[in-house]
Amino acid sequence: MDYSEELNFVFRFPTKIVFGPGTAKEVGMEVDELKKTRALIVTDRDLVQTDLVKMVQKALGKKYVGVFSDVVPDTGLHIVNAGAEYGRKLEADVLVSVGGGSVIDTAKGMAICLAKGGKLEDHAGFNILSGPVTPHIVIPTTAGTGSEVTYAAIIKDHEQKRKLLFADNYLFPTVAILDPSMTIGLPRLTTAATGMDALSHCVEAIHSRQSEPIADALALHGIKMIKEFLPRAVENGGDIVARGQMLIAACIAGAAFSNAQVGMVHALAHSVGAKFGVPHGIANSILLPHCILYNLDACLDRYSQIAQAMGRDVRGMEPLKAAEQAATAIREFSKSIGMPQTLREVNVEDSGLEQCANDALMDGSIVYNPKLVFDPEEILKVFKNAF
C-alpha cells in the first residue's frame, strides 16, 4: 500500500490481553493485580441465568459485590444510568463486563458515571473526560464488536431514536480476557453477524482517510482470519479453535479501527439500527459491499488488497476490476454463512430511508470515509441499492 511521505500517526493499544480457554477463571487475579476489592459484574438478562456468569462470580470470590443484569440489545441511557446508580450503592471499584457489545458499552458508560458523577448524557462527546474512569475488565461472549479494546461506546437515546457516541482515550478497557469457551454457546446467526461486524471493522480501517501502516497490517490479517475461521465457527459452534481465532480476529480488528476509525458503513448502519432496530452486525454486513462500490474509485489499490485477503486472485486484472472483487467476495462470503442480503429482509421500510440518510450524514464516522460525502442523496442511493 502507498503511504504519504508526510505520514504522521499515533497508535494506541493500552488494553492488556489475556487469551486462552479457561482464562475467564483468572479474573480474580486480574482484579488483585489492579489492587481492587469490590467487583461489580455487568451482563444481560439472558447471560445472568447461565453458568458463564456464575463461573465468573465464583472466580471473583470475596471480591464479588453484585451483578447488574438489566442490559438489553442497543442499550440505552436509562440502563447505563441505572447501572451506575447501582454501582454507587455497592461502592464498586472495578467493573467486570460479561457479554457482547451492548454489555461492554454499558459498562464503559457506567465507568464514566462512577468516576465522574452525574448521568451519562452529561459526558457525551469526544475526548471530554479529564482523567481515568473506573477500571474495567472485559470478558466477551461474542467475537465481533472489538469493544473490548476500543475507546468508544455507542449508547442509544431511545426518546430521540438516535445513537450517541462516547469516545475518549480514558475509555479503553483495562483488561480483555479472551476465553473461547465463553463463546461456545453462541447461536449461528449471532456468530455470523458478529463476525461480519469484525470484517466491516477491518475493511473500514483499511479504507479510512486516517489509515496507517500498523492498523493496515492488523486489519489485513484480521480479514484472512475471518475468511478462514468464521465459516467454521458458524458451522460448528463447538469448534474451540475457530472460536478462539475469531476472538483474536475481532480483537485485532477492534485495535485497527479504534486507531484508523470507521466510515460510511458504520454511519449508515448506526442510522438504520437506531430507526428500525436492525442489529449492528447485520446492518454492517448488508451495507458493506454497497459502500465499497460507492467508494471504489477513491482507493482502488486498497480494495484490491482486501480482495486478495478474501482469497481472490486479482493478478493481471485491471485496477477497477480487481477492486470490485472485494465487494463481490464479501457479498458471496456473507451469503455463504447465512446472512441477510437486503435491508428489506430485516424489516427496514423504504419510507424511512430518507431520514436515515440525513441521520447518517450527521454521524461522526462519515468524516473518515475515503470519499467525502456532503449530500444525503448520495447516501440515499446506497440505501436504495441495499434495499
Same domain, 203 and 179: no
- Distance between CA 206 and CA 303 in Å, rounded? 8
Phi-psi region of 347 (alpha: psi -120 to 50; beta: other; left: phi over 0): left
Same domain, 122 and 206: no
Same domain, 200 and 178: no
Convert the pLDDT of each residue in 35-45 to its tens digit: 999 999 999 99
Sheet holding 162-167, edge to edge: 125-126, 162-167, 152-157
Among 148, 183, 218, identify where a domain stops. 183
Q: In which domain, by residue range, is 350 found?
A: 188-386
Among 183, 206, 221, identify where a domain stops. 183
Instruction: Give the end-to-end CA distance of the chain in Å, rounded to a whole number.
Output: 33
Q: Say if 1 falls within a structural domain.
A: no
Q: Say if 42 falls within a structural domain.
A: yes
Same domain, 58 and 173: yes
Average pLDDT value over all residues in the chain:
95
pTM for this structure?
0.94
- Distance between CA 282 and CA 264 in Å, rounded? 15
Contacting residues for 128 by C-beta, under 8 A, at least 6 apart: 168
Convert the pLDDT of each residue in 48-58 to its tens digit: 999 999 999 99
Cell numbers at residue 358, please? 440525513
Same domain, 81 and 119: yes
Question: What is the CB-side half-sphere exposure of residue 25 using CA atoms within 13 A?
Answer: 5
- Distance between CA 90 and CA 93 in Å, rounded? 9
| Domains of the chain: total | 2
Q: What is the pLDDT of residue 122?
A: 86
- Distance between CA 12 and CA 170 in Å, rounded? 11
Same domain, 267 and 357: yes
Question: What is the three-class DSSP state of 64?
Answer: strand
Same domain, 47 and 174: yes
AA identity, residue 237: G
DSSP 272-341: HHHHH---HHHHHHHHHHHHHHHHGGG-HHHHHHHHHHTT---TT--HHHHHHHHHHHHHHHHHHTT---
- Distance between CA 306 and CA 283 in Å, rounded? 20
CATH number reported for the structural domain that contains residue 154 in this entry: 3.40.50.1970
Helix then strand then coil, in percent of the chain rounded to 5, is 60, 10, 30
DSSP E strand boundaries for the chain: 16-19, 39-44, 64-71, 94-99, 125-126, 136-140, 152-157, 162-167, 175-178
DSSP 132-150: ----EEEEESSSS--GGG-
Q: Say if 64 falls within a structural domain.
A: yes
Q: Say if 7 falls within a structural domain.
A: no
Contacting residues for 173 by C-beta, under 8 A, at least 6 apart: 15, 97, 104, 108, 136, 137, 138, 147, 148, 149
Cα dihedral sign for 114, 117, 123, 126? negative
Convert the pLDDT of each residue in 117-167 to its tens digit: 999 988 877 888 889 999 999 999 999 999 999 999 989 888 877 778 889
Is the confidence at residue 279, as pLDDT, over 90? Answer: yes
Same domain, 56 and 151: yes
Is the confidence at residue 6, as pLDDT, over 80? Answer: no
Convert the pLDDT of each residue in 196-241 to its tens digit: 999 999 999 999 999 999 999 999 999 999 999 999 999 999 999 9
Cα dihedral sign for 193, 195, 201, 206? negative
Q: Say if 5 falls within a structural domain.
A: no
CATH number reported for the structural domain that contains residue 330 in this entry: 1.20.1090.10
Q: Say if 51 falls within a structural domain.
A: yes
CB contact burial 78-90 (16+ within 10 A = b; e otherwise): bbbbebbebbeee
Same domain, 140 and 243: no
Distance set, CA 93 to CA 17, 169, 172, 264, 298 (Å): 21, 19, 16, 37, 47
Same domain, 118 and 140: yes
Same domain, 264 and 300: yes
Name the strand (E) or helix (H) holding 81.
helix 77-90
Q: What is the pLDDT of residue 162?
A: 75
- Distance between CA 269 and CA 193 in Å, rounded? 13
- Distance between CA 92 and CA 37 in Å, rounded? 8
Q: What is the pLDDT of residue 228?
A: 99
Among 183, 215, 248, identify where a domain stops. 183
Same domain, 56 and 28: yes
Cell numbers at residue 27, please? 479474573
Q: Say if 4 falls within a structural domain.
A: no
Q: How confident is the model at residue 5 (pLDDT cuts 50, 70, 90)?
A: low
